[in-house]
């Protein structure tokens, strides 16, 4: 059974203080790993897709990396507007549905 | 390009009633998935439709059902509502659910009294 865990559950940073979020996964053949950002009361916003170990994707202050067992979302010099819940999801080769992790709630203080 | 739209945005029902939620995917997207999101359980997969066929189903009771129309629009229905069905219901569409990302709508907030 495909599983996704995320750590930490919550993270509080000062503006400009870089950090990383972790997503660990178990899947029978990875078709894709996905990162989303979700603001309160809204639907998740798609950020990145990673397909194979060693792959990296960047968008503004965010950088996602992938290994065979986990993915990291690095946040460089965060701003208060980066505050949100970050969700990780995987899709395996033998299942059609996406499995989501519980998310990391990020707060960036000015 | 218009995003995923969901109607209604908010809904209040009482126990025992039924409800139908609607989702219009991004133009050209044929895969539509439905999720239930609650503070305690996070995002839980309900079902996925592709070309009017249910292709995958999560672990929810038969009170939860759905369908997809020929224009890829989808509906989900919950019958005999229970208090525990109160949640944010999210619809997501993707090109073919084959390793591409899903794009979510704003959700329907269902409150069961």
pLDDT digits (tens, 9 = 90+) for B42-59: 899 999 999 999 988 888
Q: Is the confidence at residue B97, as pLDDT, over 60?
A: no
Over residues A92-107, the mean pLDDT reads 86
pLDDT in tens, B6-20: 999 999 999 999 999
Distance CA A32, CA A107 (A): 27
Q: Which residues pair with B78 in a beta bridge?
A: B19, B64
How far away is chain B from the Cα of A75, in angstroms, using its nearest Cα?
A: 21
Reported as a single tens digit per residue, the pLDDT across A40-92 is 989 999 999 999 999 999 999 999 999 999 999 999 999 999 999 999 999 88
User: What is the pLDDT at residue B41?
Assistant: 82
The residue of chain B with its CA nearest to that of A42 is B106
Q: Judging by DSSP bridges, how do beta strands A104-109 and A10-14 pair with one another?
A: parallel
Mean pLDDT of B63-74: 96
CA–CA distance, A74 with A98 (Å, rounded to integer)? 22
Average pLDDT over residues B12-34: 95
- State how far residue B109 is from chain A, nearest Cα, in angstroms: 8
pLDDT for position B69: 96
**A chain contacts of residue B95, beta-carbon cutoff 8 Å:** none
pLDDT score recorded for residue A93: 79
Answer whether residue B88 shows pLDDT above 90. yes
Please tell me if residue B67 touches chain A, with a CB cutoff of 8 Å: no
**A13 near A110, Cβ under 8 Å?**
no
Asked if B90 reaches chain A (Cβ–Cβ under 8 Å), the answer is yes
pLDDT at B36: 96
DSSP strand E in chain B: where? 5-7, 10-13, 19-24, 31-38, 42-50, 53-57, 64-68, 74-78, 87-94, 103-104, 108-112
pLDDT tier for residue B99 given thresholds of 50, 70 and 90: low
Interchain CB contact of B7 with A (< 8 Å): no
Q: What angle do CA B76, B82, B84 make, to 5 degrees?
A: 90
Residues of B within 8 A of A31 (CB-CB) are 98-99
Which residues touch A42 (CB under 8 Å, ≥6 apart)? B106, B107
Q: pLDDT exceeding 90 applies to what percent of chain B?
A: 79
Distance of alpha carbon A81 from alpha carbon A85, whole angstroms: 12
pLDDT for position B104: 95
How far apart CA A62 and CA B51 sit, in angstroms, is 35
Strand B87-94, strand B31-38: pairing: antiparallel
């Amino acid at each position: 059974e495909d599983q996704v865990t995320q750590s930490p559950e919550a993270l509080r940073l000062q503006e400009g203080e870089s950090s990383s979020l972790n997503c660990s996964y178990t899947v029978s053949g990875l078709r894709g790993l996905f990162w989303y950002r979700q603001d309160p009361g809204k639907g998740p916003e798609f950020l990145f897709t990673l397909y194979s170990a060693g792959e990296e994707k960047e968008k503004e202050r965010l950088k996602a990396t992938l290994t065979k067992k986990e993915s990291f979302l690095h946040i460089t010099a965060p701003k208060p507007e980066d505050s949100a819940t970050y969700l990780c999801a995987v899709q395996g080769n033998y299942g059609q549905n996406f499995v989501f992790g519980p998310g990391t709630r990020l707060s960036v203080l000015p | 390009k218009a995003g995923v739209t969901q109607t209604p945005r908010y809904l209040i029902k009482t126990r025992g009633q039924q409800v139908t939620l609607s989702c219009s995917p991004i133009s050209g997207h044929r895969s539509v998935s439905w999720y239930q999101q609650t503070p305690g359980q996070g995002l839980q997969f309900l079902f996925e439709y592709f070309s009017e066929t249910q292709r995958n189903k999560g672990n929810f009771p038969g009170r939860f059902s759905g369908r997809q129309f020929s224009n890829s629009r989808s509906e989900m229905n919950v019958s005999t509502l229970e208090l525990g069905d109160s949640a944010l219901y999210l619809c997501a569409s993707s090109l073919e659910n084959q390793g591409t990302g899903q794009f979510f709508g704003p959700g329907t907030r269902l409150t069961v009294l």
